Structure 1
Amino acid sequence: MQESGDGIEEIEDQPVLAHVTYRPTTLQKIEWVSHCQENSSVERIDGFSELPEHIKNFLRYKHCTSFPQILNAPQKCGGRAKSKRVFLLLAIKSSPGNYERRAIIRQTWGEQNSYNGAHVRRIFLSGTFENEREDKHLRQLLKIESETYGDILQWNFHDTFFNLTLKQFLFHQWLENNCPGANFIFNGDDDVFVNTFNVVTYLRGLKADDHLFIGQLIANVGPIRESGSKYYVPVQITSSDSYPMYCGGGGILLSRYTAHAIYNKSLEIPLFPIDDVYLGMCLAKAGLVPASHMGMRTVGVHVPSATLDSFDPCYYRELLMVHRFVPYQMLVMWKAIQDPHLKCGQKLSIYVGH
């Protein structure tokens, strides 16, 4: 680990298993467990007994928002005072077992670098694995990654779909305490492809102290009431049939101003099981609105003809973010969009007009 001229630590990106450099561990001895008690009164809610078990558990424990942190990176942004020197913080949600995705991201769009003076930093957000035996092994994996790269935040809660909102809440708390000055934040999944060059170029024309929250806008939708759906939200969680406007959680860009606003309102709003909807709730409470950007594609790229290759780098060279990619595709595309000999011709105009 080196100290750069701006006082922000430069983390060398190197293969974890090929060359492990041990540093003083950030694995904290957990002296306590959450004392948050189950809210058994929810069992008196009409229809509670018929709900799926994960929804019952959400209702029982949704008030629990304090969990011990297993792995931390308090100097990721050089400390609170120097955190304004971070132009873009990449905050990537990653389950403990997704090692290959994290490894590829470190080599490609998540590389900690300076883009013409704009400092980009990276952090992965993780919980724990539900299976106790497997979790023991994965904690060791994340510990090694943390010691090697200094880019893991891990809390002691189960990393499940309905706990993504909890992960989001705890990240905003960490951001407020450790990196409040970061100018902009990309918050997304570990299976997205980000054109970091384009993101930095786009953000250079904006002000960190103005409102910014962009992605693929979702409006005029409400809770899915089909119990077989991954996104099932019964009336016992919310009786409202509509959601506020929000952006798909695969990838969003937000400013420092908006991150602070979300944090402040998250202290007032109970957790909701769908994380991107919850962010929309926080924005609405703050009197802010999300916006759409055609370069943010959380449902992939749709080409205008079946004869065209949707994996053509000419489509991705002009975008900011695309969901979703498998690891090898990230590496191939990252190299392709930087190829100085890449010729796109009319394909670009066809796509942009789509």
Structure 2
Amino acid sequence: MRNIRAKTLLLAGALALLAFPLCKNFIDHKAPGFHVDVREDDSQIRQPTKNNSYVYSWPRCQQNVSAANMTDFSSLPVTIKDFLYYRHCRHFPMLLDLPDKCGGADKSAEVFLLLVIKSSPHNYDRREVLRKTWAEERLHNGVWIRRIFLSGTTDSGFEKKRLNKLLELEQREYSDILQWDFSDTFYNLTLKQILFLEWMERNCPNVRFLLNGDDDVFANTDNMVEYLQGLKDNDGSKHLFTGHLIQYVGPIRSSGSKYFVPVQVQKSDSYPPYCGGGGFLLSGYTALVIYNKSQSIDLLPIDDVYMGMCLAKAGLGPTSHIGVKTAGLYIPSKRLDEYDPCFYKDILLVHRFLSARMYFMWHRIHDPNLKCSL
């Protein structure tokens, strides 16, 4: 009996030694579009540190070399090639986590509005201004507003380390950053979105509503709370997805465009209805539906369109809200000041604001002495 057991252990050890080089090659393979910093023990789930860093770790995702067999693949821009090589990759090491942001999964219904803000590591000044203005965590109209910034990594070498350290320092002070070790680029915005939804399902599944937006939007979050509280028969447990509605459009096939999507990425010449990605409101229910449907839909580099695709697969649709202006605010005359606070006090969101103007506008619309003509 002992001889059998000894032989079994010896065989198991031999198999482990044979398997080790294969694992090692898998981990050492570099994915150029994602720059994942994987350590030798990356197959393990780690415990949170004091900075909530390095909690979840995944094996490196391998390049899908068969993508190069697509018709006219060699003629595509490098960014598109890179996207196609790693389109299937959906798990990356988490560098900064906030597992208790919503008070735990069971208490997450106490968060009425979760502000989910996409932000590159470089954008420190934008994050600082948002923390002091519309993204301030607070109780408004009797309900809680909470804030999270979503980030990947940028640059390489010493600069990458410096930027990661910057986010770590912000995390220590504010506890408001989720960071994964993938390259924070325009074509990876959809990946960032899906990683957040996966995190939400695990940590904040019962959040009532979410604002999903960029860090250069001006959002009147007070107005948002009041709008959401005024919804009939919807406490976040029913479908809601509203913003600047875009429909009857399709992929841009011009390779010189920022939004270029070739047929190798999206064959169809039409997109489903969607809301401009600068900022939109959705219910917690809809966010989880989108995540569920995303599991069976290939990633598309245009993140707002991808949200529309997930909604369409669920048999749901986005709606238009007149107060969301992701294409900018219309000013009726050039003689008028386009930053007159009276234009902004009743809206929900406007895209593309510089940090200084963001700070100015937030305080002006809350000035008790502000007088606006009807």
Report if TM-score (shorter chain) is over 0.5.
Answer: yes
Q: Deviations over 1:14-41 (max 9, x none)?
A: xxxxxxxxx92212277x5533211111
Is 2:52 the partner of 1:26? yes
- Asked if 1:304 is matched to 2:332, the reply is yes
Identify the residue that residue 351 of structure 2 maps to in structure 1: 323
Give the Cα separation in 1 of the matches to 2:60 and 2:255: 31
Which of 249, 253, 271 lines up with 1:221 in the alignment? 249
Q: Whole-Å Cα distance in 2 between the matches of residues 285 and 39 of structure 1?
A: 26
Unaligned regions of 5+ residues in structure 1, if any? 1-22, 347-354
SS in 1 for 2:105: coil
Could you say if the C-alpha distance between residues 322 and 103 of structure 1 is closer, same or farther in structure 2, counting changes exceeding 3 Å?
Answer: same
Within 5 Å, give how 1:130-209 maps onto structure 2. Answer: 130-206=155-231, 207=234, 208-209=236-237
List runs of 5+ in structure 2 lacking aligned partners.
1-48
Cross-structure match for 2:145:
120
The SS at the match of 1:193 is: strand
Are the aligned partners of 2:60 and 2:92 in contact in 1 as well (CA < 8 Å)? Answer: no
User: What is the aligned partner in structure 2 of residue 233 from structure 1?
Assistant: 261
Over the residues paired in the alignment, what is the CA RMSD in angstroms? 1.2
Quick one: distance in 2 between partners of 1:296 and 1:256?
A: 19
Q: Which residue of 2 aligns with 1:104?
A: 129
1:177 aligned partner, one-letter code: R
Q: Deviations over 1:180-203 (max 9, x none)?
A: 111000000000011011000000
Q: TM-score, normalised by structure 1?
A: 0.89
Worse-matched range after superposition: 127-136 or 85-94: 127-136
Given that residues 215 and 252 in structure 1 are in contact (C-alpha distance below 8 angstroms), is that contact kept between their aligned partners in structure 2?
A: yes
Match of residue 110 from structure 2: 85
Q: Secondary structure at the match of 1:100?
A: helix
Query: Is the partner of 1:136 in helix, strand or coil?
Result: helix
Q: Distance in 1 between matches of 2:126 and 2:256?
A: 28
Are positions 1:345 and 2:370 aligned together? no
Letter in 2 for 1:74: P
Residues 248-278 of structure 1, C-alpha deviations (whole Å, 9 max, x = no match): 0000100011111101101111111100000
Alignment of 1:284-295 (within 5 A): 284-295=312-323
Alignment partners' CA distance in 2, 1:263 and 1:44: 30
Which residue number corresponds to residue 4 of structure 1? none
Q: Check the 8 A contact 2:211/2:279 in 1, yes or no.
A: yes
Identity of matched residues, %: 57
* Alignment partner of 1:276 is 2:301: no
Amino acid at match of 2:212: N
Judge conservation of contact 2:219–2:349 (CA < 8 Å) in 1.
Answer: yes
Q: Secondary structure at the match of 1:81?
A: helix
Task: Give the CA deviation at 1:132.
Answer: 2.9
- 2:291 corresponding residue in structure 1: 263
| Cα offset, 1:218, TM superposition | 0.5
Aligned residue pair count: 323
> What code does the residue aligned with 2:161 have?
K
Matches within 5 A, 1:61-72: 61-72=86-97
Q: For 1:82-119, what per-residue CA distance to the aligned partner results, in whole angstroms no more than 9, with x for missing partners?
A: 00000000000000010000000000000000002110
CA distance in 2 between partners of 1:24 and 1:90 (Å): 24
Match of 1:58 among 69, 79, 83: 83
Alpha-carbon displacement from aligned partner over 1:55-96 (angstroms, at most 9, x marks no partner): 001111000001110000111100001000000000000000
Give the conservation status (yes or no) of the 8 Å contact 1:130–1:159: no
Q: 1:237 deviation in Å?
A: 0.7
Contact 2:300/2:306, CA 8 A, preserved across alignment: yes
Alpha-carbon distance between aligned partners in 2 of 1:224 and 1:25, rounded to the nearest angstrom: 42
1:152-175 Cα distance to aligned partner (Å, 9 max, x none): 000010000000000000000011
The TM-score normalised by the length of structure 2 is 0.85
